[in-house]
């Protein structure tokens, strides 16, 4: 299934993509793509999609999952990305949190903070938790995944690394977490460790990678994180980015108002954002 949420921000309704690429309204079946709904997706899969109302027009898409309690990010999880930023691959996953207020729809604008000079892009595979995970083994980990999605982990590099403290303030600005367009269930993702991913800025391809070069794979990350805290339905894990970010260019290159960023992951859909000054 390709699940989604559509409508004005804060008023999104649940939807599903049919075989013809049309959005069908799920609001008569579930209240939202969130919480307990994520624990019973097998029941939702029994729905006759073609009997659902077609959503007319071209509505705004919201983040593909609602009610996210934790937005967990993994740093330097591609060895070639670590190299381009001058860092070494960590002996264990680097974990940092992104404020849930950064979450927005896949095509919502990137808002460049007022004092920003180094706003950067990062295409990432998102993993959405479907049932509680605590002390799970790597062998069991994928059973706790509701699905996968595209994430743009937008980052302000000066806020992140030049202003002391942790990375959070460089990662959590408003609209720094485009999520979607769809939550794609695991039955449609043959191997989360073999997905092509790309990102362009103003039509120029700057990132062109694959999840197969991740240092720590999805199963390892879910298991690893569950050793420290319980993962709950709707929690998102953003698993790191391949090379090609602005920080790694020589000279570095950053986003400015009017720039257009497009990105996608094989089988998980695409995003398109215009940069605006906040």
Give 246-260 pLDDT, tens digit per residue.
999 999 999 999 999
Bridge partners (DSSP) listed for residue 78 = 214
Domains, the chain, in order of start with CATH, read: 62-277 (3.90.850.10)
Pairing type for strands 196-201 and 204-210 reads antiparallel
Phi, psi of 198 (to 5 degrees): -150, 160
Is 84 a residue whose pLDDT tops 80? no
- pLDDT band for 221, please (50, 70, 90 cuts): very high
Please answer whether residues 84 and 34 qualify as being in contact, where contact means their C-beta atoms are separated by less than 8 angstroms: no
Burial 149-171 (b: 16+ CB within 10 A, else e): bbbbbbbbbbbbeeeeeebeebb
Is 88 a residue whose pLDDT tops 90? no
**pLDDT per residue as tens digits for the range 14-50:** 999 999 999 999 999 999 999 999 999 999 999 999 9
Q: Which residues contact 143 (CB under 8 A, 6 or more apart)?
A: 131, 136
Is 127 a residue whose pLDDT tops 90? yes
Give the 3-state secondary structure of 94-142: EEEECCHHHEECCCCCEEECCCCCCEECCEEEEEEECCCECCCCHHHHH
* pLDDT score at 90: 85
- pLDDT band for 86, please (50, 70, 90 cuts): confident
Both tokens assigned to 6: 């559509």
Q: 210 in helix, strand or coil?
A: strand
- State the pTM of this model: 0.96
Please answer whether residues 87 and 232 qualify as being in contact, where contact means their C-beta atoms are separated by less than 8 angstroms: no
């Amino acid at each position: 299934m390709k699940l989604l949420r559509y409508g004005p921000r804060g008023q999104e309704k649940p939807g599903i993509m049919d075989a013809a690429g049309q959005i069908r309204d799920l609001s008569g079946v579930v209240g939202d793509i969130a919480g307990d709904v994520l624990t019973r997706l097998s029941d939702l899969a029994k729905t006759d999609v073609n009997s659902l109302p077609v959503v007319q027009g071209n509505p705004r898409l919201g983040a593909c999952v609602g009610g996210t309690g934790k937005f967990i990010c993994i740093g330097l999880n591609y060895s070639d990305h670590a190299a381009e930023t001058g860092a070494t691959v960590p002996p264990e996953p680097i974990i940092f949190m992104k404020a849930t207020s950064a979450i927005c729809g896949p095509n919502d604008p990137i808002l460049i903070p007022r004092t920003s000079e180094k706003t950067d892009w990062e295409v990432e595979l998102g993993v959405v938790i479907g049932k509680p995970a605590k002390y799970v083994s790597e062998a069991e980990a994928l059973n706790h995944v509701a699905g996968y999605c595209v994430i743009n982990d937008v980052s302000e590099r000066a806020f992140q690394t030049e202003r002391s403290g942790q990375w959070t303030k460089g990662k959590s600005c408003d609209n720094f977490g485009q999520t979607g367009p769809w939550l794609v269930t695991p039955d449609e993702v043959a191997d989360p460790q073999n997905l092509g991913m790309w990102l362009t800025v103003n039509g120029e391809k700057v990132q062109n990678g694959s999840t197969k070069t991740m240092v720590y794979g999805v199963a390892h990350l879910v298991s690893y994180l569950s050793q420290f805290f319980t993962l709950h339905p709707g929690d998102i894990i953003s698993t790191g980015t391949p090379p090609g970010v602005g920080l790694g260019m020589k000279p570095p290159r950053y986003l400015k108002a009017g720039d257009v960023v497009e990105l996608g992951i094989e089988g998980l859909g695409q995003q398109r954002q215009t940069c605006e000054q906040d």
